[in-house]
């Protein structure tokens, strides 16, 4: 990535030079005069232009204007950043109207995201990034759009841009967006009114709206949430902060779509009223007219929450609840009961059957929706705690396994860090990164099923002993297979010793039939094994190991993964990052 710095303060030239050099960035400085800027833009063709917010003898608006004019003449569209050098608080935009302020504290994050965008724009051939749907960004400025797009690019998000609210409404009417990110200040209709209109519309179902603003006034925050906003983010955000916020909301949307709500009532009006309300909130809704029909549907679909009336034909709500509690697959399903009965004995009967909440008709539909979402959130937190406990237990087993041999201590941590760095370098999505991190941390868990006499043997292995070692990939997959939440992780562990040419183990899988995550782990695992000490040999030099990986490209290693790994290591060398630093950074 090329950065043109239009700077007339020597102190900032010094700071920026020290900042750029260790990161391996291509940069140039120029004085803020028209001739110098024109010459630099022509010969350098920068991806980013960094301005000061004030100059000694020029106005910042003037400098920004002829930077953009020259860029337009050359067909360039560099992101324009303004480095804050004065003590006064900047407005949300510079005086040029289409520049984003940065400070020394967040300059690194912004440039890192922009560099990632440039790099992934020409990512290695053969790598297909997982797109997570479209996000609509609403703001009149192009530079902020570039910053947001760069921040979200590593996660595989596809960003669309609307310049005002009218265009945003038109786009939302014709396309299904996963999320809307809008500034408050827009030409014509503001972002808060846009949010209200999007939330009032039922088209497309539930869609989170995040408000971007430069104001941290509590009144402005409350106004945004009262307008229907799902979140509020200050424009001083870092790229990582924005990406994490977007990821959290899209994960919540994904969870909602996976959740199943069963609505049971013999009144069609109430069924449709609740169904419509739940669908607008993004939930997956099933309906039944009586308890017997609901029980059959629950057995087939396994809902997360059942919302049921009490008085129904064939089987009433109490009978349905009793039948569910006697069915092992449905014992832990949340039940919300609604009825015109408001007697204490009826409410207590529901409590004895494990009913989570009892609503007396007529009830507030919004309160019902809130209760259902709280139950789903509680269920997810419980699932997450169990999931983390299982992972912690598995990692403890791997640590105990490595502790038996001083030569393999830290191997798993190094392979995991290296695999994640490579995956990010290749532009994998957040979901793929999560699965890869788990798989890399557990890739050798199957060695717990290999005898110490074989695993810790200091000399060369016999053919029979080597065959026993090879079984660890299958053993690891079998250990994890019963855990439903690790379904996507099991193949990465099973196939991390397969070869691109089909000569690996345990199944002789080859080429792109091997999962991408397994191919990434294979490169990182081999590099760490080659450069680490063993009882029967010393670890080889890094360069020799890299030469072997280059030589085995298209044979042992996936060419795309190996090429990306070599490029990543070369960039580490240019930036002066040694092995320990690189692994820590990963």
Please report, for the chain, the start and end positions of each structural domain, with discontinuous segments joined by +.
Answer: 2-102, 123-256, 259-365, 404-585
- pLDDT value at position 408? 60
The pTM of the full predicted model, rounded to 2 decimals, is: 0.47
Cβ-based burial of 414 (10 A; exposed 0-12, middle 13-18, buried ≥19): buried
Superfamily of domain 259-365: Response regulator (3.40.50.2300)
Q: What is the DSSP string of 191-217?
A: HHHHHHHHHH--TTS---EEEEES---
Q: Which CATH class is domain 404-585?
A: mainly alpha
For 177-211, the pLDDT digits (tens) are: 889 999 999 999 999 999 988 887 754 467 889 99
Measured distance CA(441)–CA(388) in Å, rounded: 13
Measured distance CA(139)–CA(182) in Å, rounded: 6
- pLDDT value at position 575? 54
Q: Could you check whether 123-256 and 259-365 share the same CATH topology?
A: yes
123-256 has CATH 3.40.50.2300 classification: yes
Measured distance CA(242)–CA(181) in Å, rounded: 10
- pLDDT value at position 545? 93
Taking 50 as the pLDDT cut, the residues of the chain under it are: 88-97, 121-131, 203-204, 577-586
- pLDDT value at position 93? 44
Superfamily of domain 2-102: Response regulator (3.40.50.2300)
Task: Give the number of other CB atoms < 10 A from CB of residue 268.
Answer: 10
- Bridge partners of 181? 137, 210
């Amino acid at each position: 990535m090329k950065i043109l710095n239009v700077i007339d303060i020597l102190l900032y030239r010094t700071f920026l030079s020290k900042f750029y050099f260790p990161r391996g960035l291509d940069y140039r400085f120029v004085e803020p005069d028209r001739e110098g800027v024109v010459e630099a833009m022509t010969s350098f063709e920068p991806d980013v232009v960094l301005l000061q917010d004030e100059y000694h003898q020029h106005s910042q608006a003037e400098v920004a204007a002829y930077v953009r004019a020259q860029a337009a003449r050359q067909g360039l569209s560099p992101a324009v950043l303004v480095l804050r050098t004065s003590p006064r608080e900047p407005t949300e935009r510079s005086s040029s109207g289409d520049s984003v302020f940065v400070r020394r504290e967040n300059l690194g994050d912004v440039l890192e995201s922009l560099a990632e965008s440039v790099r992934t724009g020409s990512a290695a051939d053969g790598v297909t990034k997982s797109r997570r749907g479209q996000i609509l960004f609403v703001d009149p400025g192009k530079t902020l759009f570039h910053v947001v797009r760069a921040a979200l690019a590593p996660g595989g998000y596809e960003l669309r841009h609307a310049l005002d609210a009218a265009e945003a409404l038109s786009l939302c009417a014709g396309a299904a967006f996963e999320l809307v990110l809008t500034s408050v200040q827009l030409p014509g209709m503001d972002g808060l009114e846009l949010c209200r209109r999007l939330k009032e519309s039922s088209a497309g179902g539930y869609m989170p709206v995040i408000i971007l603003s430069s104001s941290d006034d509590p009144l402005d925050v409350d106004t945004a949430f009262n307008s229907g906003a799902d979140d509020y983010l200050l424009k001083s955000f870092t790229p990582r902060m924005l990406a994490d916020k977007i990821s959290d909301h899209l994960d919540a949307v994904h969870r909602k779509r996976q959740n199943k709500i069963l609505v049971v009532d013999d009144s069609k009006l109430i069924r449709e009223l609740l169904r419509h309300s739940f669908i607008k909130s993004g939930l997956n809704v099933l309906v039944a007219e009586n308890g017997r029909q609901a029980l059959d549907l629950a057995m087939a679909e396994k809902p997360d929450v059942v919302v049921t009336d009490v008085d129904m034909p064939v089987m009433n709500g109490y009978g349905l609840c009793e039948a569910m509690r006697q069915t092992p697959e449905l014992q832990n399903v949340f039940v919300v009961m609604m009825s015109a009965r408001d007697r204490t004995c009826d409410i207590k009967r529901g409590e004895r059957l494990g009913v989570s909440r009892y609503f007396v008709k007529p009830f507030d539909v919004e309160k019902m929706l809130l209760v259902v979402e709280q139950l789903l959130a509680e269920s997810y937190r419980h699932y997450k705690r169990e999931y983390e406990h299982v992972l912690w237990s598995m990692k403890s087993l791997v640590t105990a396994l490595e502790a038996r041999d001083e030569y393999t201590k830290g191997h798993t941590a190094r392979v995991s860090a290296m695999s994640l760095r490579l995956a990010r370098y290749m532009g994998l999505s957040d979901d793929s990164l999560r699965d890869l991190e788990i798989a890399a941390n557990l890739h050798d868990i199957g060695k717990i099923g290999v005898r110490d006499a074989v695993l810790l043997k200091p000399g060369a292995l016999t053919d029979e002993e080597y065959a026993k070692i090879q079984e660890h990939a299958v053993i690891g997959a079998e250990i994890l297979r019963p855990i439903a939440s690790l379904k996507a992780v099991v193949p990465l562990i099973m196939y991390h010793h397969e070869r691109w040419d089909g000569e690996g183990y345990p199944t002789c899988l080859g080429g792109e039939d091997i999962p991408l995550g397994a191919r990434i782990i294979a490169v990182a695992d081999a590099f760490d094994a080659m450069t680490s000490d063993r009882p029967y040999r010393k670890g080889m030099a890094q360069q020799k190991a890299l030469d072997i990986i280059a030589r085995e490209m298209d044979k042992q290693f996936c060419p795309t993964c190996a090429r990306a790994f070599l490029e990543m290591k070369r960039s580490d060398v240019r930036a002066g990052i040694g092995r320990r630093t690189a692994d820590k950074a990963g």
